[in-house]
Structure 1
Amino acid sequence: MTAAAGAEGTELEEVVDAELVDDDQPARRPPATVAIPGPSPEYRLTRDTLLVEGELPPRFDEQPVFTERDFIVPPSAKRRAEERGARNTRVNRDTTRDRFEEWCVKEGRIARPATTTANVVAYFDHLMESRKMDGSQYSPDSLLAYLSRIVTWYPAGERPDGSLVRQMIEDYRLEEYIPAGGEREEAAGLTLFYLVQVLDKIDESTRIGRRDAAMLAVAYGKLSRGIEVADLLVKNLRVADDGVWVYTAKSKTRRDGEGKWRFVRDRADLQIVRRVRAWLGDLRELDADNPTLPLFRALSTTGNLKGRSNATVRGLHLSGRAINEIVKKRAAAAGVTYINGLKVTSHSLRAGPNTDMKRAKVPLADRREAGDWGEKSPLPDSRYNRPDDTVDAAETDPLDAVPLFGRFKEDTAEP
């Protein structure tokens, strides 16, 4: 092979992989990269962003442009948003937060819009070291409630760490509160033995007396909380010859608004049918028996309806505090202000019937149902049982066997 041929062969080998085209068609070239002017797009990423493989997050330039209209709500919507939750819960929550904020301002600390764990720790240390206005210590349970209200004041992800404060509160309970005589304030159990005594002292010839007797009978039979009694409407009671149906629209356990009826059978000691019918008759005479009106009303000393034009919070309804005062007043009139050292309050009408039923060996599940406790709640056995309520400690004091002034006969005998 000549040098020319070798060169030619080499030249052929160099083009063998090239694309062959017709002379009358232009060669195809790879497309050019298109350059986009301006900065590269910015993406909106948060800790809650979820993407699949190959998916791009939303871009900032795709954010909708809101107008003033998108932030305006009717006054009623603003009120509902600000007043969400039960009024009592809302007032307690806001009061706790206001006090924390006031303390922070006084101490030169920041409470809003965000705060630090150190600020919260220092505040609860202040509460544990100080005392309430009446001179008593803050109870550990109250402190735990305050902590929850303060921590939940801040958005999730920006909340101070409450775990340290919870441990502080538990140490405070064991090392300071209990040794200093602190104890959980419990209501006495107004068992049927004592309730009958209270009812016997009520003058049911008066309208106020008939109201209070019916109220006590319904509350005991329903195992009601005070506010649940105050919230009852006329239509929430249905009277039969053998008992009374009582309806609770919402309770502390059931906050979803799903109502519940309970039948309270009539009995010779409680006389719930007679007492409820008598009070409903009074409401008819007062022209206050409209089904949507409150069942228990504020009365004047003469038995007429009290004006409630200034009651902007509860309207025509009595307050839970008013129910409590009625119960305490009626118990005191019967000489049972205290039962075995515990105060009689409106909550006694919840603890009392539960105690009676447990003593009668009613199963826990049935007592939960009757008292509208949660299906797994231990409270009917742990917090609302007063096993010795029918034993009057004043009648069984062993010191009664000791003569007055300790003067036994042998002390006065002649030598």
Structure 2
Amino acid sequence: MTAPATQATEAVELIEAELLDDAADRLPVPGGAGPVYRITRHTILAEGELPPRADEQVRFTERDFTVSRAAKERSGRRGARNTRVNRDSSRERYKAWCAADGRVAEPTTTTANLVAYFDHLMATGKPDGTQYSPDSLLAYVGRIVSGYTKGERPDGSLVRDMIEDYRMEEYTGEKEQSAGLTLKYLVQVLDTIDESTRIGRRDAAMLVLQYGMLYRSIEVTNLLVRHVRIDSDGVWVFTAKSKTRRKGKGRWRFIRDRPDLKVVARVTAWLGDLRELREPGIGRGQQNPVDGEPAYQPAKPLFRALTTRGNLKRRANATVRGLFLTGRAVNEMVQARAAAAGVALIDGLKVTSHSLRAGPNTDLATADVPLEERNEAGDWSKDSTLSDDTYNRPDGSQGVRKHDALDAVPLYGDFPAGAPAEPAPGFPPDPDGDAT
């Protein structure tokens, strides 16, 4: 390089309608005469080699910026749907807060604005009065900062340091966990389902498969008809990909039939329903038309949205998941079925769709199944300890009896004059005369 840099610019520039990269530096020759060279911080030159001249850059045309509508939509959908939703919602909340506080959030923002926003979140907490977890705040930082062009991003490292201080000094919250829907509770739920209806048969089949596979809700909804095969003594289930295994080949896993789960009978019954169902047509009276397209096809979803009469719902407006159920729909189903069985709460924890992941893992741990085998069953990574640290509920979901010491106190504190308190029903009196 024969000429030292005398001036640098950090912006995207157009020179004679040419496109220059971000963070571009132009190197003029001394005295302002002669050619202008194009260099970025990523340029690599051999000794004595000159950088490319600015007037020799490639000229782009409209064609170089144009893609098909499908390609544009695909690029906008990059990343898992939940990731996109979380990313976009985090950025929109930041923009809304900045607007309400008289600050600028777009097209770029400042580090001070970001600091003020996260100070606000840590100081005020969530709308329900609970604290934001440090891990959630760290996730928000990444989503917001990555939304800005490189070179114009606020300093997220400063905010991350603030959050770590918050973790050590202020955060006292406890992570909300789902209850473990262990087998004995799952059987109670299954016993309350009316399996003489299509909705009942669908829900029962979904519950036993989700329990048997330790599935997340989105994984059970992603199953296709071809992903399930009935064997003489169980069911084979194919998982194309999971949250922890996004790439590579899918895998088959076997769920052995047993009298409590009745997985063969329940899955067989639901597959029979799918064979009878037809895609709805347009207009009234077009539910389950005889000449409609069959629901039982290898590449169609295994579990479908149903009307109250047990026909397929029209999904024309389901633009996000199409014929597939959403994870939220599965969660609502699980919660409704658990509530109907009287187990909406198990040892103070809510039953959710994730309970069908924590529950079987807890049963396996109680049965002394090794960690490595549980990781394989739940599709965790080989060296993961999540099945021990996060998804095991040894102190919950184990049938701890409901007992409150205040059971011994009469309603409204109305003790009989001169008489000791009667023990609560179901609890024998203590040998010393105290209720236990």
TM-score (norm 1): 0.83
Unaligned runs of 5+ in 2: 1-31, 278-293, 423-428
Distance in 1 separating the partners of 2:357 and 2:432: 51
Q: 1:399 aligns with which of 391, 396, 405?
A: 405
1:249 to 2:263 alignment: no
Alignment map for 1:194-209 (pairs within 5 Å): 194-209=185-200
- C-alpha contact (below 8 Å) 2:180/2:397 kept by paired residues: no
Cα-to-partner distance string for 1:226-267 (whole Å, 9 max, x where unaligned): 111111111111111111111222221122364222221212
**2:394 maps to which residue?**
387
**2:78 maps to which residue?**
84
**1:29 maps to which residue?**
none
Distance in 2 separating the partners of 1:364 and 1:106: 50
Cα gap change, 1:411 to 1:260, in 2 (>3 Å): closer
Alignment map for 1:317-396 (pairs within 5 Å): 317-395=324-402
**2:103 maps to which residue?**
109
Q: Pick 1 or 2: higher relative contact order, CA cutoff 8 A, min separation 6.
A: 1
Distance in 2 separating the partners of 1:147 and 1:212: 39
- C-alpha contact (below 8 Å) 1:204/1:213 kept by paired residues: yes
Cα gap change, 1:216 to 1:58, in 2 (>3 Å): same
Q: Which has the larger displacement, 129-138 or 267-276? A: 129-138
**SS of residue paired to 1:44:** strand
Cα gap change, 1:153 to 1:60, in 2 (>3 Å): same
Distance in 1 separating the partners of 2:51 and 2:116: 42
Residue 91 of structure 1 and its aligned partner are, at CA, apart by 1.7
1:305 to 2:296 alignment: no
Output the amino acid matched with 2:98: C
**1:123 maps to which residue?**
117
Distance in 2 separating the partners of 1:398 and 1:341: 13
Number of aligned residue pairs: 371
**2:250 maps to which residue?**
259
Q: 2:65 aligns with which of 60, 71, 77?
A: 71
Overall identity of the aligned pairs, in %: 66
Q: Which has the higher helix share?
A: 1
Output the amino acid matched with 1:191: T
Output the amino acid matched with 2:405: L
Residue 144 of structure 1 and its aligned partner are, at CA, apart by 1.8
**SS of residue paired to 1:45:** strand
Residue 402 of structure 1 and its aligned partner are, at CA, apart by 4.8
Distance in 2 separating the partners of 1:185 and 1:131: 15
**2:162 maps to which residue?**
168
- C-alpha contact (below 8 Å) 1:187/1:344 kept by paired residues: yes
Output the amino acid matched with 2:347: N
Distance in 1 separating the partners of 2:228 and 2:339: 28
Distance in 2 separating the partners of 1:341 and 1:401: 17
Q: Which has the larger displacement, 74-83 or 163-172? A: 163-172
Cα gap change, 1:378 to 1:164, in 2 (>3 Å): farther
Residue 112 of structure 1 and its aligned partner are, at CA, apart by 3.1
- C-alpha contact (below 8 Å) 2:214/2:377 kept by paired residues: yes
TM-score (norm 2): 0.79
- C-alpha contact (below 8 Å) 1:193/1:390 kept by paired residues: no
